[in-house]
Structure 1
């Protein structure tokens, strides 16, 4: 199997810029995932986020998780479980407004560091979107603007822990799915693995690397690029030992953003039917309502459902 794409962002500043942009392009077109090194977020900040996240889980969430799993009878599970995940999670919202001050049990230093981390990740997300603009031949700022609703983009973080699981062959840490939104930035454990993506019919490990940020593309970027870039199925495998930390931040469209293929990426009508396939036009919030119940199912029927549900938004222009 080919090597998982790892991209050193520092190389954009020198004579290797062209080769690095090509590597990003290939990762977007053929993987839907890549891993960033030298991304501009300090190791000190990442170490503080990791330490405080793991301390918070131990102090506030570990016992609660064990009780929940026991109450559902999952610790002694004998048959495969298809409707549940072996994960402990909580969610933070950053944009259009923050809810960090409202989340119970968070210590003040943890709140402060997560706010600081979110600001850095938001900046990195917008830098990456500009690189994708360039690779796609779109005007600078196109993708960011496409994700903005009337109040700007949505941005939030899912903080997850995947504790040791007694029967990892019977229950997954997180079932296979594609992400609904725009661009996803993941700070994952560098010691305990488990994240996998589906490529060419095979599950490939996303390698744990210290101080890296893993990037993956969501359903909305597939629509905006008219399928040039694709969101990719991924899952988390439960492990018998080790507690895997996962901090996934989602740079998504604003709830009222109208999502549709970039006209520059829609071929004029011609003979090539595959090239002429155009993704639907819809309001992001409508897609999320549909996604909520169908997250762990194939994405293609979701796109088709949106085609029928929002036909009143008008035609999509072609280049």
Structure 2
């Protein structure tokens, strides 16, 4: 089966475009003027407009499980404020060794620099998106993003197929497996914190996700050098459709931007930190007490960039709707029930569309 034939148009690898020494971005990647990033400087490093003094909150998880109740309460409070005010925060001292994070980034960088014929063995299709890809959505003639990616399933176990994971670089599959195991554990700990901060039992959110029967997947993003970064985006503005995302950013090259009102804030990653963000499913479950936030990725004329986005999602066939404990006469239920499988299919047909997907779930009044 040729997966490339399942797409509405021939697939072009952005990395190949970048390496062909183009001086201009092809028209298929040029965003409408209002969607383009703003240049603050004309330097080759492509500095984009943002407030240099603003960054998403950084939360030190080191004391979360210690005996100091005051410190624990302070950490819970920091996360609560971040979820309410930003929808994004960074976590440090999270318990995953820096060596594993570094190795995880490095093996994926090595993968994207393998010969094209090796990578093409894993070419994906819009049926599952699993494998090596270069576009989201199946809209013919869509304006595309300046990025390639690799998507794979980690949970549930029936979807975990090592044959769809890269065989190279050597021990790649073992590193991915261990990385996924530890990130799933960290996500579970953060779910308890979010649940407590919503005034619920510590397992309430997790149970609403399906208990231990959750879904988890990894999308590794590769953003090649771009000759005209002011005209395009590595990833268009969107909110994450799943439950919660843990992003391991490229700590050498910034690129993630988070919407803050009418501004775009360029996130400055802390060393060996994860960037955590609320997804659409937690927005629905929390009845919009916590909100997913639009974000996008800018690209760079001088440097490539690699990031690992790990998605922690509800079980696919469970209807997701506001938790009854968070629905009151003063705050009625805002959303209609929809399973994550249904929602994911809805997203796949359209590609990144800001916040329009989750907004379309709102109950009619």
Instruction: Bin the TM-score by the shorter chain.
Output: 0.7 to 0.9
- Pick the aligned partner of 2:280 from 219, 222, 225: 219
Residues 1:115 and 1:276: Cα distance change in structure 2 (over 3 Å): same
Higher normalized helix content (fraction of residues): 1
> What's 2:17 paired with?
none
Residues 1:60 and 1:111: Cα distance change in structure 2 (over 3 Å): farther
Is 2:104 the partner of 1:49? yes
- Superposition deviation, residue 108 in structure 1: 4.1
- Which residues in structure 2 correspond to 1:161-172 (within 5 Å)? 161-172=222-233
- Which residues in structure 2 correspond to 1:127-276 (within 5 Å)? 127-148=189-210, 152-267=213-328, 269=329, 272=330, 275-276=331-332
> What's 1:279 paired with?
335
- Which residues in structure 2 correspond to 1:19-34 (within 5 Å)? 19-34=74-89
- Which residues in structure 2 correspond to 1:49-88 (within 5 Å)? 49-60=104-115, 83-88=143-148
Residues 1:137 and 1:6: Cα distance change in structure 2 (over 3 Å): same
Preserved CA contact (<8 Å) 2:335 2:361: no
SS in 2 for 1:210: coil
Aligned-partner Cα distance in 1 for 2:94–2:357: 36
- Superposition deviation, residue 154 in structure 1: 0.9
Preserved CA contact (<8 Å) 1:290 1:302: no
- Superposition deviation, residue 4 in structure 1: 1.8
Preserved CA contact (<8 Å) 1:95 1:154: yes
- Pick the aligned partner of 1:111 from 156, 173, 183: 173
- Pick the aligned partner of 1:18 from 62, 69, 73: 73
SS in 2 for 1:254: coil
> What's 2:4 paired with?
none
Is 2:155 the partner of 1:95? yes
Aligned-partner Cα distance in 2 for 1:122–1:61: 31
- What are the Cα deviations for residues 72-127 of structure 1, in whole angstroms up to 9, with x where unaligned? xxxxxxxxx97101111111211012123333443341110110000000000010
Where in structure 1 are there 5+ consecutive unaligned residues? 66-80, 309-319
- What are the Cα deviations for residues 131-188 of structure 1, in whole angstroms up to 9, with x where unaligned? 0011011112111111128x81110100111111011111111110011000101111
TM-score (norm 2): 0.74
SS in 2 for 1:249: strand
Aligned-partner Cα distance in 2 for 1:245–1:227: 31
- Superposition deviation, residue 304 in structure 1: 3.3
Aligned-partner Cα distance in 1 for 2:100–2:290: 31
- Pick the aligned partner of 2:186 from 124, 146, 152: 124
Residues 1:93 and 1:292: Cα distance change in structure 2 (over 3 Å): same
Residues 1:305 and 1:260: Cα distance change in structure 2 (over 3 Å): closer
Preserved CA contact (<8 Å) 1:60 1:105: no
Please report the RMSD computed on the Cα atoms of aligned residues, expressed in angstroms. 2.4
